[in-house]
Amino acid sequence: MKNKELFIIEGESKLSGRVAISGAKNAALPLLAASLLFDKGFKLQNVPRVTDIFTMLDLLNVIGTEHSWIGENTLLLEPGIKNQIAPYSIVEKMRASIYVLGPLVAKTGYAKVSFPGGCNFGPRPINFHLDGLKKLGVDINIEHGFIVAKARTLHGNEIVFEQKTVGGTIHLLMTASLIEDETILHNVALEPEVVQVAEFLKQAGAEISGIGSEVLRVRGKKSLTPPYKTRIIPDRIEAGTFLVMALATGSSIVVDNVIPEHVFTTIEKLKDAGAKIEISGSSVKIKPSEDYIMPLNIYTSPYPGFPTDMQAQFMAMLTVARGVSIIRETIYPSRFHHAYELQRMGADIEVKEGEAVVKGVEKLEGTVVNASDLRASASLVIAGLMAKGKTIVKNIYHLDRGYENFEHKLALLGAKIKRKKEV
């Protein structure tokens, strides 16, 4: 049963101060799953304590990998495989659970993984994962809601992704790292999380070239040894969320622990909307240049384009922009559930297939809204901070999947936000 909690937000308050960004859960999750490739233990640093991480740790525990927290955000992993079945009760909670499939079958020759769950904003097929595994020699059958994978021996191959896929790239990269033949992956995703996984596997002994480009060549090893310590990169989506929040509320804040080039597109769009931004090392200072927000045209696309995971946050901000904004969602065309909740707060948004037209209004009004997914949750918090009066955001378990200590960080910036159990 999901935790029934909500946020109560008092709007129209300025933010100020500094906020430190946590590690990227979308980099940490595959590195946790990669533990199944190894026989030796290793440490991951800067791991965010968010629900998705705990879900992956629960799954790895069922399989046989043990873990312990050393300090607040460092994990010690002790790999082990005692069970090759990933049950629905865990896998349904998180799409990234699919990452254990390839490593398990590469290491043991067998895996049985339930179809994955996660955020609900339209179809996200796993055919790229399964088709790629088949090309590497894995026999795959669907039985009673489970993906059953078997392989006596795996072999390298040349794989061309029809479209860029972060999960598919990472999954096949991990699997290929235990195959002694060469595997060539074409049209791979370029996200920083993909780059971190590739560099990690290279440090573990796999021969990988083309990291950061659209073609990866992988020659794996029969046995890999993980680097003993790896630090998870900062979460670029969390960083972007706080930057948007600042401009949306007309506030000046400093966001620390950022890799600026990872949020370049977000920063450029914020400048177009009227933000003044100063970058100093790993810190980004943002403040408004005017007392209004300029409208934007946004077109989501794979990295280094505008991230789909920032679309909802920008939409919340643009509800009060001076003019009409157009948001085209090319990654997940149905990812607009948050628009209907923003309408309940007085936003003027017309939703079409793959596009939203946002006409700026003078002010949002606080009300009760329901979060539908992880980033929608963040957008509704932003809207609540902007709105007049009290906003209640329900179903915040979605937000807890990807944001660490979110309300505490906000409170330190001066936001009036409280978490309460839903009655």
Annotated catalytic residues are 119
Closest by Cα among 416, 372, 265, 385 to 316: 385
Mind spelling out the 3-state secondary structure of the chain? Answer: CCCCEEEEEECCCCCEEEEECCECHHHHHHHHHHHHHECCCEEEECCCCCHHHHHHHHHHHHHCCEEEECCCCCEEEECCCCCCEECHHHHCCCHHHHHHHHHHHHHHCEEEEECCCCCCCCCCCCHHHHHHHHHCCCEEEEECCEEEEECCCCCCCEEECCCCCHHHHHHHHHHHCCCCCEEEEECCCCCHHHHHHHHHHHHCCCEEECCCCCEEEEECCCCECCCCEEECCECHHHHHHHHHHHHHCCCEEEEECCCHHHHHHHHHHHHHCCEEEEEECCEEEEEECCCCCCCCEEEECCCCCECHHHHHHHHHHHCCCCCEEEEECCCCCCCCHHHHHHHHCCCEEEEECCEEEEECCCCCECCEEECCCHHHHHHHHHHHHHCECEEEEECCHHHHCCCCCHHHHHHHCCCEEEEEECC
**What is the Cα–Cα distance from 157 to 218, expressed in whole angstroms?**
10
- Distance from the Cα of residue 67 to its chain's centroid: 22
Both tokens of 266, joined, read 């977000």
Which residues, including other chains, have CB under 8 Å from residue 352's CB and lie 6 or more apart? none
The amino acid at residue 49 is R
C-alpha distances in Å from residue 276, one per residue of 25, 102, 254, 256, 286: 28, 45, 12, 16, 6
Exposure letters 358-393 (e unless 16+ CB within 10 A, then b): bebeeebebbebbbbbbbbbbbbbbbbbbbeeebbb
